[in-house]
Amino acid sequence: MATKPGIPKGTRDFSPEEMAKRNYIFDTIRQVFHLHGFRQIETPAMENLSTLMGKYGEEGDKLLFKIQNSGDYFAGITDEELLSRNALRLAAKFCEKGLRYDLTVPFARYVVMHRDEISFPFKRYQIQPVWRADRPQKGRYREFYQCDADIIGSDSLLNEVELVQIIDAVFTRLGIRVAIKLNNRKILAGIAETIGEPDKITDITVAIDKLDKIGLENVNAELASKGISQEAIGTLQPIIQLSGSNTDKLSTLKGILAASETGMKGIEECESILRTLESLPVRNEVELDLTLARGLNYYTGAIFEVKALDVQIGSITGGGRYDNLTGIFGLPNVSGVGISFGADRIFDVLNQLDLYPKETPDGTQLFFVNFGEKEAHYALPILAAARKAGIRTELYPDAAKMKKQMAYANSKQIPFVALIGEDEMQEGKVTLKDMSTGVQQRLTPEELIASFQKQ
């Protein structure tokens, strides 16, 4: 007797109903990408470990799924090494390949390998799964999809503007109200420069982020506990309490960061992006937020993050400007900017807000009940003609009990049912039943097809 099968923890099967929802999300994002001239690429699931290792920090290296070499993977390893049982070191000998951890590093690798075929600026999108050997928990999976759009080879801020437009268009189409948060790595660097604490930027943003929860006094205490001087904390006060419109915030920052060239450059970038967006029909609010610090070591300019307004959940989209991503593969001085939509969280948000369209665009429209061999053979050419006319239709393959056949049609939410008996065959007709109204009509096959085309 076989044991009941399972799947690896942190992975999921997707049923037809779930796939319809996921495809709705992917198709919406894809359409917006196309409206902006982005084109799709795909890269292999497996990359050489030399491509992946060292790109995601020490913790990231541990979270890479490694693929054992085929054949004799013990070749070239001494007994001593084996007995050392050094899991990490020996993994590098047992395994040459790993599963991709994100879409960004493979994209950088792609750009470097194919630089001679690409005409820059390269606007690419990529929708593929990634894998991380993270501890699985609610909402965190070991296999999940990323939907990335990047523009590489242009440092124009119009690219940042375009990405905000894309974010706005995607969430408007999905019906999710969001706040689009904007920050700039150069402003953060300017702050650190101004208070003389260049390596405390993460501590500072983390502390500021807690203002609403723990209050100003506790934020200041936390900053002090991180070794930041009282003088620096004093300088930080207007930044911690930064409020008002984006213009107000930027004007406050200008005063504090006046002496920092980098800081002023960051402010100028934000101003330019926000000013351009003002002339455009952006539905969701774009808000300057200094607490955004994602991928600090990675991003060099703008940083984006998107929060759903009506659901409590982490960031559902993020991204930013990176000035030297391809440098790690030997192609320096290529600037890029990109965003990544978190399909799994968007899936949850749409579920919680019940925002999925009621009709599945790809579902069967017309179901033929099978009353027996003769009726089935009468029906088959009608099905063929209907499909030729673009109608999604199926005949139940067995002459099973009516109840069973109707249960099948209902489980697939098929809106129209065709019935064929003696009378219909004699008249050369089909009885069409509208399942939502119960209304029945006896139609010729041509009339049947025409009735769908009118809809």
Q: Which of 12, 89, 140, 374 binds a copy of itself (CB under 8 A)?
A: 12
Helix 201-209 × helix 211-225 angle, to 10°:
150
In this complex, which beta carbon is closest to a copy of itself, that of residue 2 or of residue 212?
2
Task: Please say whether the beta carbons of 145 and 317 come within 8 A.
Answer: no
Q: Give yes or no for residue 62 binding a copy of itself (CB under 8 A).
A: yes
In this complex, which beta carbon is closest to a copy of itself, that of residue 117 or of residue 354?
117
- Site residues (CB under 8 A) for a copy of itself, limited to 234-273: none
What distances in angstroms separate CA 204 from CA 21, 318, 380, 416, one per listed residue? 40, 20, 70, 61
In this complex, which beta carbon is closest to a copy of itself, that of residue 248 or of residue 398?
398
Q: Which of 241, 303, 306 is nearest to 273 (CA)?
A: 303
Q: Give yes or no for residue 154 binding a copy of itself (CB under 8 A).
A: yes
Q: Which of 408, 433, 435, 442 binds a copy of itself (CB under 8 A)?
A: 408
Q: Give yes or no for residue 317 binding a copy of itself (CB under 8 A).
A: no
Q: Which of 26, 46, 235, 442 binds a copy of itself (CB under 8 A)?
A: 46
Residue 107 CB, shortest distance to a copy of itself, in Å, is 10
Q: Which of 5, 76, 255, 438 binds a copy of itself (CB under 8 A)?
A: 5
Please classify residue 422 by burial: count the beta carbons closer than 10 Å to its beta carbon, then call 0-12 exposed, 13-18 middle and 19+ buried: exposed
Phi then psi for residue 123, to 5 deg, are -100, 105
Q: Which of 67, 179, 201, 435 binds a copy of itself (CB under 8 A)?
A: 67
b/e per residue, 76-85, with b = 16+ CB within 10 A?
A: eeeeeeeeee
Residues whose CB falls within 8 Å of the CB of residue 144, separated by 6 or more in sequence, listed in order: 129, 130, 343, 344
Residue 16 CB, shortest distance to a copy of itself, in Å, is 4
Residue 338 CB, shortest distance to a copy of itself, in Å, is 14
The whole-angstrom separation of Cα 51 and Cα 328 is 9
Q: Give yes or no for residue 71 binding a copy of itself (CB under 8 A).
A: yes
Q: Give yes or no for residue 7 binding a copy of itself (CB under 8 A).
A: yes
The whole-angstrom separation of Cα 305 and Cα 327 is 25
Helix (H) or strand (E) holding 90: helix 87-94
In this complex, which beta carbon is closest to a copy of itself, that of residue 259 or of residue 283?
283
Q: Give yes or no for residue 41 binding a copy of itself (CB under 8 A).
A: yes
The whole-angstrom separation of Cα 427 and Cα 247 is 75
- Site residues (CB under 8 A) for a copy of itself, limited to 175-194: none
Residue 169 CB, shortest distance to a copy of itself, in Å, is 7
Residues whose CB falls within 8 Å of the CB of residue 109, separated by 6 or more in sequence, listed in order: 43, 47, 51, 329
- Site residues (CB under 8 A) for a copy of itself, limited to 341-400: 362-364, 367, 376-377, 380-381, 384, 387-388, 390-398
